[in-house]
Structure 1
């Protein structure tokens, strides 16, 4: 089982692209990552870590979901009209850093939901007819895939904002 922690976090600035995507076409979502890094470099910006996938709305894993593919930055920076800027809100977060890379994420999310329920933690979500809307649910990839091609060795951090 994955270890979970509660962390108080400051807001984090990011640049990125919001999309509606499906897991079966995740390559289309991932295609934005190098574009964001290239635009950031061209604008003279410096990334502060690996890409962050911010989940905003999800119904089931087989339905399209609203996400923002982003890169953390030290402060807001405009990198072009095709890109957005924003912040991941400050607050208390339920956090996991599972082993097993992206292939372990489905199980980790299920465990986090169960663990949060047992601990009496209130996730910052709103359930609507079109799915669950998150105030902040993120997956940040901490390993550079060019340095480590084995997906099972990639470090990933999962974080849910709490109320």
Structure 2
């Protein structure tokens, strides 16, 4: 089982693109990552880490989901048309840094929900007819795939904002 922590976090500025995507066509979602880095470079801005996938709404993993593909930055900055800016809110987060890369994320999310329930922690979610809406649920990729092609060795951080 994955180890979990509860961490107090400051808000995190980002630049990114919001879209609706699904796992069957995840390449379309991932295609935004190099575009965001290129826009930051063109604007003279320095990324503050690997890409962050912010999940806003999901019904099931097979259904389309609302997501923001983003890159953390030091401060909110405009980089051009087609890119948004914002902040991941400050607060208490349930956090996991699982071993095994992105292929373990489905299992890790399930374990996180169970662990939160056992610990009496409430995730900052709202259940609606069109799915679960999160105030903040993120997956940040900490390993550069250009330097480590083996997905099973990628470091990923999963975080859920708590109530």
Q: Which runs of 5+ in 1 are unaligned?
A: none
Q: Which residue of 1 aligns with 2:128?
A: 128
> Is 1:45 equivalent to 2:60 in the alignment?
no
Query: Over aligned residues, Cα RMSD in angstroms?
Result: 0.3
TM-score by structure 2 length?
A: 1.00
Q: Which residue of 1 aligns with 2:152?
A: 152
The superposition leaves residues 23-65 of structure 1 with CA deviations (integer Å, 9 ceiling, x where unpaired) of: 0100000000000000010001100000000000000000000
Superposition misfits of 4+ residues, deviation over 4 angstroms? none
1:21: Cα distance to partner?
A: 0.2
1:81: Cα distance to partner?
A: 1.3
Report the Cα distance in structure 2 between the residues aligned to 1:99 and 1:27, rounded to whole angstroms: 23
The superposition leaves residues 114-160 of structure 1 with CA deviations (integer Å, 9 ceiling, x where unpaired) of: 00000010000000000000000000000000010000000000000
TM-score by structure 1 length?
A: 1.00
Q: Which runs of 5+ in 2 are unaligned?
A: none
Q: Which residue of 2 aligns with 1:7?
A: 7
> Is 1:137 equivalent to 2:130 in the alignment?
no
Matches within 5 A, 1:23-62: 23-62=23-62
> Is 1:66 equivalent to 2:60 in the alignment?
no
Matches within 5 A, 1:69-108: 69-108=69-108
How many pairs does the alignment contain? 163
